[in-house]
Structure 1
Amino acid sequence: MRLWLLRHGEAEPRARTDAERELTRHGRKDVLHSAAQLAGRPLGAILASPYVRAQQTAELVRDALGFRGAVGTAPWSTPESDPREALNFLAERSEQDLLLVTHNPFVSDLAGFLIHGHRQEPVPMGTASLVELEGDLLIPGLMSLRSIHHVRRH
């Protein structure tokens, strides 16, 4: 199984609620840069947090890759979600190649949990950072970090 974790692109600093914050122009550009890292990958599904900035990020990736499926909403992947609970939902998925678009601190914690088997070593992820994990099973401590892509700031 291959799991890609993408942190949403840069978002506007304020909105009526945190969930309603939209991507900035720079955020969109950074997302497209990260999406290029996924070109030619056999994604089976794209899932995203219900927050606007994550949904916008996922749709940009979907369009950039020409992915034909709809973006699935993952209500269990918001900034403060628990990686242990998220694994229950991810384990139900049958796709071998899956992209999850979400937020910090959740995304950093989830990556660290899958790689190390505990939450004491989160993987640092800036906006639009992309992590590629691989393993036979989606079990904490049994996934390997295959690549990490950070967007350079200009």
Structure 2
Amino acid sequence: MKVMIMRHGEAEAIALSDGERPLTAEGINEVTQVAELVAEEYSVSKVLASPLLRAQQTASLMAAGLNLAGVETLDELAPDHKPESVFKVLADVEAEVLLLVSHMPLVDQLAGWLLDGTRKSPITFPTATVAVLHTEHLAPGVAELERVFLAPS
């Protein structure tokens, strides 16, 4: 199984609430470019996203770029959740290549938890970054980093 962990694209700094912050024009551009790069190398099976607007927009752009029908919302991908709760929910999800769209600090914690069982990843996650991890099962410290996609500057 491959788990792709993605931080949302660049978002507006101010909105009525944090959950309503939309992507900026630059954020839309960087996500669109990353979707093209990912599509060249991977066939994603499923996209799951945080319920916050910027993650939903990012996931929708990625799904469109990957020729997928839609996005599923997973409340556990909101930034205040813990990696253990995310992977507990994902235990029953069947997907060969799974894309998770979330936020800092959770993307860092998800990658760290899978890679070495800690909550600090060796990967940095600027906006629109996708880390591709290969793992046989969702457990701490069992994944291997396969690839990182960054938005072209």
The TM-score range, normalised by the shorter chain, is over 0.9
Cross-structure match for 2:26 = 26
List per-residue Cα deviations over 1:70-97 (Å, max 9, x = no partner).
2000100111210111110111211121
CA displacement at 1:152 relative to structure 2: 4.2
Q: Secondary structure at the match of 2:110?
A: helix
Cross-structure match for 1:150 = 150
CA displacement at 1:119 relative to structure 2: 1.5
2-structure distance, mates of 1:75, 1:148: 25
TM-score norm. by structure 1 comes to 0.93
CA displacement at 1:123 relative to structure 2: 2.8
Q: Secondary structure at the match of 2:6?
A: strand
Q: Which amino acid is 1:114 matched to?
A: L
Q: Secondary structure at the match of 2:55?
A: helix
CA contact (8 A) 1:8 1:57 kept: yes
1:58 and 2:41 are equivalent in the alignment: no
CA contact (8 A) 1:109 1:123 kept: no
CA displacement at 1:140 relative to structure 2: 1.0
> What is the identity percentage for the equivalent residue pairs of Structure 1 and Structure 2?
37
CA displacement at 1:66 relative to structure 2: 1.6
Cross-structure match for 1:131 = 131
Q: How many residue pairs align between the two structures?
A: 152
CA contact (8 A) 2:46 2:98 kept: yes
Q: Which amino acid is 1:109 matched to?
A: Q
List per-residue Cα deviations over 1:15-40 (Å, max 9, x = no partner).
01000000000000000111112215
Cross-structure match for 2:48 = 47
Cross-structure match for 2:108 = 108
1:96 and 2:96 are equivalent in the alignment: yes
Instruction: Provide structure 2 residue ranges, at least 5 long, that are not aligned to the other structure.
Output: none
The root-mean-square deviation of aligned C-alpha atoms, in Å, is: 1.3
Q: Which amino acid is 2:81 matched to?
A: S
CA displacement at 1:139 relative to structure 2: 1.1
Instruction: Provide structure 1 residue ranges, at least 5 long, that are not aligned to the other structure.
Output: none
Cross-structure match for 1:35 = 35
CA contact (8 A) 2:115 2:121 kept: no
CA displacement at 1:122 relative to structure 2: 5.4
